[in-house]
Structure 1
């Protein structure tokens, strides 16, 4: 199902790349809680578990996922209150939301939404998550009860921009403020939410986000956006959360205005983002505001990134049918 291949990548910085090619387009990927597997979601609805030997150890699928596409997956953040569960949630293009146990290789529960569900975001401390998709709404779930608690959406007031007006592609919970989260999508806005209220509290405009390209900094005072629109001179920006004002545009290399489709923190200080035209991934230091590494000449646009084990300084990204595992070279 998967094999190691070579590709004439151009690499700047002290990193190495291992490239795997599978049977189908990889739409998203996520390391498991203990980093024993890299789970790859495919366009045919299957999920492959890649082990440390770079082999597919097993495949997760059932009759409900055969004619759909995996769109996103996340495991619950590990904490003292919520220890390792060996489970993760996965969303699908036909509206399915499934909880998979990868120890037992089975689905433990399923619910369904009447929409194209584009992805999922977990609360950093509580056992809650949100899903989002093409009906402009964000659904808040409690994982313990397996019930939907609230729908976050725009009001009927056409004079107020207090919610999304197009597909929602990403969301990120505030790391410290229990009830707050932000979301982005195809309507050129980032919306600020309090889960105790049905409508958004405020918003910023001018930011289109087409994939998982929205994330808070660890302290929560700022957040980053990855956009495909470079008309303003940069596609990776940092914003002040309290004021909603842009604080920085990254202009670190020759690809500074290339479209970005995804991004995530690899550790507390480094952020990886990827895109297309040209197809590339770059790793940046948030403190120095400089590039750490740049991987380019990738065969397809980069659509997903996941942070790997810190001791190996590892992360993975997907582009087309290929998965790229990037590791820092020890100094």
Structure 2
């Protein structure tokens, strides 16, 4: 049996704009950040150094980049293709390493907030302000279908803005989505409408995920923020308690982002505003808290695990991008105490963090002291 702990690796503190979406590349070597100034900044994930900047030459593209997804490996011979949606309604394919925009689709009179690829990369879907889930063919970039409704009054589809959208990794015909209308809709591409719905979660960011017959939701509210639901029945199976902040003990968290780790790593990460923090939980240990990133001056809008579940990106309103390592150590069978979750506190005020913008923080006891993790621009 092993135990997990968080280790702060580095902080990108020279990013000039708030971050709405982060995404590791399929090989884990790159980390893309969708920013409020309309720019996508792509960093080397090993050291946090800026590698590429992607930005449209059109003036209106300065609206925020709200969602990012790398195209899955195997979908095409061309690697490092990044799909981005923007609050101006555009959907753009970027070739990261050349800096070229390969294709742009404009969803006129709409704002887009979320995007996802089917696991095989052959189709992708978008959603946003107009309550509609649109599905596109990746090869031709043409619209395949628009899904708005469900089965009459039983599952009517969305009635307000949609902020999160995910394909089921084990069923290529199924998607789930969530938004302001306090529902999670389950869509079936074969019938082109919603077939089931879950009532309750209030989704305001990329805070819906699905893995191993469980749906994860992170709600922007002060109670029942982090919940697990059974995919088959739609019944809630567990609420993961969000304990008081280690810094803002009187301020509850309201979540903008929630995610399962990829593969079999067995973790959940979530973050939000109010208490301005992110937490990581261990699914293999009864959703026990692994650690917290707390004390930030602004809220957390996005979290993302790398493909192997060894790193976590945390970013949001304070413009900094924090990368944490997730270390697994064998648990001493004779130990009688439970490992204490680690907490990392951001600093108020201006200036870079104590270790510089790119310096790795080594695995020593000082790394875990409150006050040694975080940065502001």
Bin the TM-score by the shorter chain. Answer: 0.7 to 0.9
Match of 1:282 in 2: 279
Q: 2:54 is matched with which residue? A: 60
TM-score by length of 1: 0.88
- Where do 5+ consecutive residues of structure 1 fail to align? 1-11
Closer, same or farther in 2 for the Cα pair 1:176/1:121, shift >3 Å?
Answer: same
Partner of 2:374: none
Aligned counterpart for 1:227 among listed residues 211, 219, 231: 219
Task: Give the SS at the match of 1:271.
Answer: strand
| Residue aligning to 2:127 | 132
Out of 145, 152, 159, which is 1:165 matched to?
A: 159
Task: Spell out, residue by residue over 1:57-111, the C-alpha distance to the aligned partner (whole angstroms, 9 max, x if none).
Answer: 22111223643221111012235x6566210100011111110001211011111
CA deviation digits over 1:261-314, x for unaligned, max 9?
101223430111111221111111113221111221122110011222538x11
Residues 162 and 178 in structure 2, CA contact (< 8 A), matched pair in contact too: yes
The superposition leaves residues 178-202 of structure 1 with CA deviations (integer Å, 9 ceiling, x where unpaired) of 2111110000111111012232112
Distance across 2 between alignment mates of 1:165 and 1:309: 34
SS in 1 for 2:135: strand
Matched with 1:144 is 139
RMSD: 2.2
Equivalent-residue separation in structure 1 for 2:172 and 2:261 (angstroms): 23
In 1, the alpha carbon distance for the partners of 2:294 and 2:177 equals: 29
Deviation of 1:156 after TM superposition, in Å, equals: 10
- How is 1:1-331 mapped onto 2 (pairs within 5 angstroms)? 13-21=5-13, 22-51=15-44, 52-64=46-58, 66-79=61-74, 85-114=79-108, 115-154=110-149, 159=153, 161-217=155-211, 219=212, 221-231=213-223, 234-251=224-241, 253-255=243-245, 258-267=253-262, 268=264, 269-288=266-285, 289-308=287-306, 310=308, 313-320=310-317, 321-329=319-327, 331=329
Q: CA deviation at 1:254?
A: 2.3
**Contact map agreement 2:151 2:194 (CA 8 A) in 1:** no
Q: Could you tell me whether the CA contact under 8 Å between 2:313 and 2:321 is conserved in 1? A: yes
**Runs of at least 4 residues off by over 3 Å:** 81-84
Deviations 1:123-176 (A, max 9, x none): 11251110000000000011011111000102696x454210000111111111
What is the TM-score when the length of structure 2 is the normalising length? 0.78
* Highest RCO, 1 vs 2 (Cα 8 Å, sep ≥ 6): 2
- The answer to whether the 8 Å contact 1:33/1:84 transfers is no
Who wins on radius of gyration, i.e. which is larger?
A: 2
Partner of 1:7: none
Check conservation: 1:301, 1:319, Cα contact below 8 A: yes
- Per the TM alignment, residue 253 of structure 1 is displaced from its structure 2 partner at its CA by 2.8
**Secondary structure in 1 matching 2:88:** coil
Q: Distance in 1 between matches of 2:327 and 2:216?
A: 26
Aligned residues: 313
* Residues 89, 111 of structure 2: 8 Å contact kept: yes
Residues in 1 aligned to 2:76 and 2:320: alpha-carbon distance in whole angstroms: 33
Please tell me whether the aligned partners of residues 214 and 263 of structure 1 are also in contact (alpha carbons under 8 angstroms): yes
Any unmatched runs of 5+ in structure 2?
246-250, 330-377
2: distance between equivalents of 1:197 and 1:15?
46
Closer, same or farther: CA 104–246 of 1 in aligned 2, 3 Å: same
1:180-228 CA-to-partner distances (Å, cap 9, x unmatched) read 11110000111111012232112121111000000011x2x11100001
2-structure distance, mates of 1:137, 1:168: 8
Q: Which whole-Å CA distance do the structure 1 matches of 2:82 and 2:26 have between them?
A: 9
2-side partners of 1:120 and 1:68: how far apart? 16
